[in-house]
Structure 1
Amino acid sequence: MKIRGIMVVCTAILLTQLLADAPTSANVEGSGNSPADQIQAQKASSGHVQAGEQLVLKQAAPYFADPLSGRERVDSFKVNYFGQPGEAFAVEARSGEMFTLQDYSRGKLWVPVWYTTEASSRVVNTAPVYISLRAKTKLSLTPGSSVRWSASTLGNGEERPISVARWDDWYGIAASPAHWHEDDIMNRPIVLWVHESQVTEQKEISEGLMEPSSSVSITAVRDIADLLLHKGASAEDAARLLGQPAVKEHSGNVELAGRTYLLGESWRFVRPEGQFIAYFSPAGRLETGKWIWPAGDKPMSGLFAGDDYPFTHHFMAGPLPATLKMPYVWRNQGDLQYAYLTGASDDVLVVQGDDGRFSGMHDDSNVYGIDRLTGEKLWQIDAGYGRLLTMMGNADDSVTVYTSFSPEKKAYEDRVRHIRLADGKVLWELRPEGGEEGRFLEISGAKNSVIIYDRPDMGRETGHLAVLDRTTGKQKWEIAIQGDYRVLNSGADDPYILIQAGQLLQARETETGTVVWTLQADTITGEDPHLYPYYAGGPRIDPFAPENSLRRWILHGDQWLLVDLETGSEAARYPAKTGERFEVLNERYLLIQRQLPAKAASADSSAESYESVLYDAAAGKKLWTVPGQASKGIIEGEHMYLVLDGVPVKAALQTGRIVWKLPVTASQNYSLMTPGSYVLLDEYVLLAYGYDLLAIGKKDGHIAGRIQNIWMGYAELREQISRSGLLNITGDEIYAGSANGAVTRLSVRKLEHRLKELDK
């Protein structure tokens, strides 16, 4: 009898524990529509679903890469996509409570059948709250599911579970995958479910998740934002979830469709572990978001998941800069995504706009004038997806514009227009005959002249060159040139017209075409490496001080010659070598990139296959050599600033000794991070780096911060216009182009004063 009594007591205890662990519903004894009854009905119906049957999602549902049984680790799941309500699919096979579907672009996916039931449509997202669970609580794949895991195995055990959803008497708990990104693939968090009978306590998360004071881990914040913050959310919803941003700015381009792009407001949230930028439409609705993370030794950019995923992730190898709130003199918002300064007079700026399509192509482009004092747009010429070239000289009050396409007629049409800068009035116009798709007409300039020419192509053996009076547009003279040739003029102020054909370089008088001087080479001139599309070689063209030197480096035969343009005499020379290209820092110094012989014939163009040389043409020798690709050089006194493999560097001019180098945590080439050139202030340098305009201390290279409201970026195959037109300085004026269509004028004096205040 004593033994039987002990057995009865043990059995009662065991039953009590089992009942405590089992999910129950407050409505178990209610009607057949109770949550418990619906769960049982779902389980029964799932067994009758046949292959080929059409199912429709009633609730946003995770698409798993593999079926789940509950025997795997709770964080081993891989979800790259979420299905949306109303999405239909044909069942391919069944495994337990999950069905598989085959998607053309996404492959084989598994989804819990519960998300196709009407009951699942009652899931409600909630504000995140901490919850405490009973010991031995199980987390279910769906409410009432037999696929379950121990709640104690969720996460790293250091943070309490966070509920982000409710379904009747069940809590939805955010669950993070073990590896939230693998290379360039994002693995997304999911919701697992626990019955309210297993919840012993819940605690409101009072602070915004991205507030500096937030105690919620950045991993949990990332998961919660993924699950709760969707495209179309209001700015108020974002503020309730994340808190107030550290800074609000004009947004970048959140669509890539020329004039249709949306330009609203961006909110930047900052925590030491990472930053988040939310981009809102002009109507205040979330369009997309960007996470910025420290990269370690593997920087990556633009990681995202499926089409339904509104965020991208960027892993930065450099420091994550603070935002510096700086007042600007004025800001002009253009129509297209990219804006570059290409010319200037005392009163007017000439800006070229581009939509930034890949490989140098575009669907839309334009050129327009901005009042230098007020920032007001004065005039604009649209060029559509045709070619657009501009040319103006020193202290000019007009600009010559060539377009090959008419957006109004939606047809190719060559037009050369000479435009008055003050109001955009066409002073004269020429419409060369034969305008057609694929024709490459070029324009250039020399003293008082406009040069219009085409080179042999598409089966033609002869090119034509015509010289017009710059003031009236009347033709002065023309010639036909047999075989290929190049026009080497830069800007509009060269004394003569420079024509290079084969082994001959001629300087012709602008009024009559008379040959003034010639240079004969021993060999035919090869391909100019400065024309390599991914490299901005030669001199940088300053829009405020166009090329006005009468001496220029010219590739002729197998030599680079520093030629006096007035006389044709040679001032210096440098042997042209295969695999070399260089920037002209001034008449004396060349910054040369040299492909190493061991890899000269390889397709590999990584930083490890290059070295860079500073060459002193006056002394006829190299001063120093460094590994990697050096570019964007600018000299100041005994030092020079450059970009080495895309990393900002200050070096001693004569020895190449590195004074400082921006700290990065990876060794790969970052050249695409630095599209523009340096601007030198008194104690700081400015440089476009990634999406930011950085202010860097001259003395020690510390990052003072990123300038607010200026959005930089790289557009493929716009190397030369980016180098010359993205960032410029003259007197007290700084002009910043952008990757969100804006041109901004800043005051040097006010900017420097503000930077010094912040660095105290």
Structure 2
Amino acid sequence: MKTGSKWQKTGYLWITVSGISAVLFTGFMLLDTNTEIQAGQGSGSTTQSLSAQTKTTYKPGDTLNLEAGIPLYTQVIGNKMPVDLMGIQYYTSSNEKIKVQAVRGEWIQFQDYNRGELWIPAWYASKESRSLKTVTPQTFSLRPGSKLYLAPGSTTSWTPSPTLTDQALIVAATKDWYGVSIAPRVWNKESFTYRPALLWVKAQAVEQQAIVADGWFQQDASQSALAVRHLTDITLNKKTTSKQVKQWLGEPDWKENSANLNDTGYTMSIGQTWRYERADAQFLVTFNKNGKLARTRWNIPQDDRNHVVTDWSFSRSDEYEFTTKITGKSLPITLPWKPIWTNQGDINYTFLKAATDDVLLMKGDDGGFSGFHYESSMYALDRHSGKKLWEINAGYGRQQVEVDAGRQYVTMYTDYDPDKKEYVDRIRHLQLKSGDVVWEYAPKQKFRLNGITAAKNVVVVSSPVVEGSSNSWLTVLDSANGKTLWTRKLSTGYQLLNKGSDDPYVMYWEKNQLVAADPLSGRTVWSIKVGKPTVDHPENNSYFDGIYRLDPFASTQPERWMLLRDQWALLDLNTGKKLAQFPARNGQQFEVLSDGKLLIRENKKGDIYGDYADFTTTLYDAKSGTKRWTKKGKIERGFVEDDQLYVVKNGYPAALAYDTGETRWNTQNTISSLRYPTNQGSYVVIEDQLLLPMGEDLLVMDKNNGTLIGRVHDVVMGTPEHRDRDAKNGTMNRFGNEVYIGSSNGRFSIYDANDLHTDISR
């Protein structure tokens, strides 16, 4: 890699705060804090006791105004403290009013509600500090014997080593002084972000000043990626425009639609993200619709200097949203893949629920915290053009949707009307293609329904007998016209077991009996005497992504795993016959693979949560009753292809030998550094490429060895908490050569699998 001048080779990184002069840093750099202190040591000849320091005229109780960009200290700093170990976490980001709590020498103490007890040099509250100006970042050298000072006129000073000052930049000036930023030796530790020190030198001590030229990120530029990071951190602020970024950094490698820039509960706002990519770092700059800076992020590969052993995300939001992400050992380059069409929706997450030859039924959800949302919707897209055909917004209420077996109609239950801003139970049967209401069922009671489900040719409505009751009425409606076919009162503890219109019967458990009733008459077709389940059903846990991966393009099979007391039983839904079974245990989850075998995960502590080391995973052939293999760890999201099983193992993409369970490759530490990474969605295979959403990216890997090839251009993924089943089934699907991909920024696209071409030999 090309490098610039000496200061650019050091790897010290900075960030600016809006306002006048301060330099803030947010990012990752974990260095060995036990190394011998060299640069920044205080000189014994300049050591001053606190009592001998400059006195301030301020007193407790005084109210002071602070300008933006002042370093805030958690303790009084003397010159025995190395300047790159000051532990500065905060700078003022806007004009702040403080009340003096204590005075010690030239230091003022105040209390901040969010940041705790803080100290500042009194000079920053003085009239003299108002003359402070920002300057274009400059490299410089110091005359021999020069010192660094805590503030202009301070008696606290340091004699810096040449190595340290070679890594510093002039960022501010006032009268006869220059403000100098010096990077911390340790940037981040656990949840703490440490920021550079802002110290001062006398103007006459400075020589050989030089302004850094523009064009920092051009491929032929001499600056290292770390030097560019330094420059962007010092220069960018919330007033920065895309025109200025283009001038300073040059043309981006890629331009993409941004993630939603607004919080849930507010109208979606999609800006533009510029990506600057290098092998050693990537810089993402996001602008709002007005072309002003909204967010930035550095992606940095894990190495000896950037090592993360926890899951902390380092960020700051005092001025504009800024984050630094330590990835794995390699960064995903952007891969071009032009969609056939893209629909831009108005709610964050887009999940494919069902498809016909002409229509795609979609679910929209804003992905609000812990499963809650301000907006959710159901809508239909023309499969050929992506045009929206109709939409029903459920606001922040519940919505349930059942597609009829012929996939010509859809029944939708909502309990909130966002237009009237009131809770209203509505059950509407719609024509899938047009959205026209065929019939509507109006519940007689005035209290809320439990919900709906479906079986063959019917819609099943569950409602409390009286408000707050645990007893329930089942009302079975003819799906063709909405007329009531039959009703049944179910007692406390009942369970309604239907999953959709492919079920041949209405199924429920009540009074120690599992009943399959004829949909049209309510007559019992078959039943099984069985007690109440002794363990909790795993699908009651909203973090569990489901026993089955549901195909939006296909009907479900007439057999299902059901929890019968202390056993899992595979039932033929037509006859009630048990096809297979195995013991049910606490802390157990399982999924059905495409060939019918099971991946059973069990926690030795009997809990559904826990460290990966607490889990074992077994490949189980239920119909023959044989365990193929058992391995340590949590193995999930299995995709079978020939003799290989692609999985998510302990949070990371991996491939196992299907017959033995031995790991063939594992991407842990390659594509991410987190202990508990998040990924949403299921695998899609395109020739030798393996696609999987992970974090914000849709990753592309070589399925033969797990090599990270890159990320798909202009696809923004996310982690919709408690929507794990929607994400698993609806985020990404392949049908023939068509690949259907959702997002977290309202976009849904169809791609031609043949158009994804990558060079997997690199």
Q: Output the TM-score relative to the length of structure 2.
A: 0.87
Q: CA deviation at 1:591?
A: 0.8
- Residue 390 of structure 2 corresponds to 379
Is the CA contact (8 Å cut-off) linking 2:347 and 2:746 kept in structure 1? yes
Cα deviation, residue 271, structure 1: 3.4
The alignment's C-alpha RMSD in Å is: 2.7
Matching residue within 331, 340, 343 for 1:329: 340
Q: Flag the 1:728–1:607 CA change in 2: closer, same or farther, 3 A.
A: same
Number of the residue aligned with 1:689: 694
Q: What amino acid maps onto 2:580 in structure 1? A: A
Q: Which residue is equivalent to 2:541?
A: 532
Relative to structure 1, the CA distance from residue 519 to residue 85 in structure 2 (aligned partners, 3 Å threshold; closer, same or farther) is closer
Partner SS, residue 623 of structure 1: strand
Distance in 1 between the 2:674 and 2:207 partners? 53
Structure ID, larger Rg:
1
In structure 2, the residue matched to 1:543 is 552
Change in Cα spacing, 1:53 to 1:524, as seen in structure 2 (3 Å) is closer
Distance 1:309 1:180, change over 3 A: farther
Once the two structures are superposed, residues 101-151 of structure 1 have per-residue CA deviations (whole angstroms, 9 ceiling, x without a partner) of 111221111122333334434433333222122122212233343332223
The structural deviation recorded for 1:403 is 0.8
Q: Is the 8 A contact 2:86 2:197 kept in 1?
A: no
Please state if 1:755 is matched with 2:758: yes
Equivalent of residue 400 in structure 1, options 389, 411, 415 = 411
Which is richer in helix?
1
Distance 1:262 1:220 in 2: 32
- SS of 1:51's equivalent? coil
Whether the 8 Å CA contact 1:232–1:287 is kept in 2: the answer is no
Cα deviation per residue 1:292-331 (whole Å; 9 max; x = unaligned)?
A: 2334351535322463463123233463211112211122
SS of 1:129's partner is strand
Q: How does 1:560-599 map to 2 (within 5 A)?
A: 560-586=568-594, 588-596=596-604, 599=605
Residue 195 (structure 1) aligned with residue 202 (structure 2): yes
Per-residue CA deviations over 1:498-532 (Å, capped at 9, x if unaligned) read 11224311111111111111122266564212322
1:98 is displaced (CA, Å) by: 2.7
**Separation (CA, whole Å) in 2 of partners of 1:376 and 1:529:** 38
Query: What amino acid does structure 1 have at the position aligned with 2:616?
Result: E
**SS at 2:415 equivalent:** strand
For 2:426 and 2:355, locate their aligned partners in 1 and report how far apart those are by CA, in whole Å: 22
Query: Is 1:741 paired with 2:743?
Result: no
Q: Distance in 2 between matches of 1:45 and 1:71?
A: 17
Is structure 2 residue 629 aligned with structure 1 residue 624? Answer: yes
- With a CA cutoff of 8 Å and minimum separation of 6, indicate the structure with the bigger relative contact order: 2
Aligned 8 A contact 1:449 1:469 in 2? yes
2:600·2:617 contact (CA, 8 Å) conserved in 1?
yes
1:139 counterpart residue number: 148
SS in 1 for 2:161: helix
Q: 105, 121, 124: which one pairs with 1:112?
A: 121
Match of 1:384, SS?
Answer: coil
Decide whether aligned partners of structure 1 residues 623 and 250 sit closer, same or farther in structure 2, where only a CA change above 3 A counts. Answer: same
Per the TM alignment, residue 284 of structure 1 is displaced from its structure 2 partner at its CA by 0.9
On the 8 A contact 1:125/1:228 being kept in 2, the answer is: no
Structure 1 residues 219 and 430: alpha-carbon distance in aligned structure 2, compared to 1, 3 A threshold: same
User: What number of residue pairs does the alignment pair up?
Assistant: 707
Does 1:65 find its partner at 2:74?
A: yes
2:446 aligned with 1:446, yes or no?
Answer: no
The residue identity in structure 2 corresponding to 1:638 is D
Give distance in 2, aligned partners of 1:279 and 1:330.
24
Closer/same/farther in 2, CA of residues 183 and 676 from structure 1, 3 Å limit: same
**1:636 has 2:641 as partner:** yes
Distance in 2 (CA, whole Å) between partners of 1:504 and 1:672 is 42
- Contact 1:176-1:189 at 8 Å conserved across structures: yes
Asked whether the equivalents of residues 326 and 673 of structure 2 are also in contact (C-alpha less than 8 Å), the reply is no
SS in 1 for 2:259: coil
Task: Answer yes or no: is the 8 Å Cα contact 1:80–1:305 preserved in 2.
Answer: no
* Structure 2 residue corresponding to 1:185, chosen from 189, 192, 207: 192
Structure 2 distance, partners of 1:161, 1:636, is: 55
Q: Secondary structure at the match of 2:245?
A: helix
Amino acid at match of 1:566: N
CA distance in 2, matches of 1:485, 1:150: 78
Find out whether 1:659 has 2:668 as its counterpart: no
- Contact 1:189–1:226, Cα closer than 8 Å, also in 2: no
Distance 1:324 1:127, change over 3 A: farther
Q: Is residue 264–residue 368 contact of structure 2 (8 Å, CA) maintained in 1?
A: no
Contact 2:628 2:659 in 1 (8 A): yes
Instruction: Decide whether the 8 Å contact of 1:348 with 1:421 is kept in 2.
Output: yes
Asked if the contact 1:551/1:587 (under 8 Å) is kept, the reply is: no
Match of 1:174 among 174, 181, 186: 181
Structure 1 runs not aligned, ≥5 long: 1-42
CA contact (8 A) 2:533 2:563 kept: no
Could you tell me how far 1:49 is from its partner in structure 2?
A: 1.6
* Structure 2 residue aligned with 1:427: 438
* CA distance in 1 between partners of 2:223 and 2:267 (Å): 38
Q: Residues 359 and 523 from structure 1, CA distance in 2 versus in 1: closer, same or farther, beyond 3 angstroms?
A: closer
Which amino acid is 2:483 matched to?
Answer: K
Which of 299, 303, 307 pairs up with 2:318? 307
Q: Secondary structure of 2:346's partner?
A: coil
CA contact (8 A) 2:593 2:599 kept: yes
Structure 1 counterpart of 2:606 = 600
The aligned runs of 1:488-499 (5 Å cut-off) are 488-499=497-508
Mapping of 1:240-251 within 5 angstroms?
240-251=247-258
Aligned mates of 2:81, 2:730 — CA distance in 1: 56
* Conserved 8 A contact 1:487-1:500: yes
In the alignment, what sits opposite 1:281? 288
Structure 1 letter corresponding to 2:314: L
Partner-residue secondary structure (3-state), 1:197 = helix
Partner residue of 1:320 out of 331, 335, 340: 331
Q: Distance in 1 between matches of 2:163 and 2:172?
A: 17
Amino acid paired to 1:206: A
- Do structure 1's residue 161 and structure 2's residue 168 form an aligned pair? yes
Alignment match, 1:9:
none
1:34 match: none
2:104 equivalent among 70, 76, 95: 95
Aligned to 1:5: none
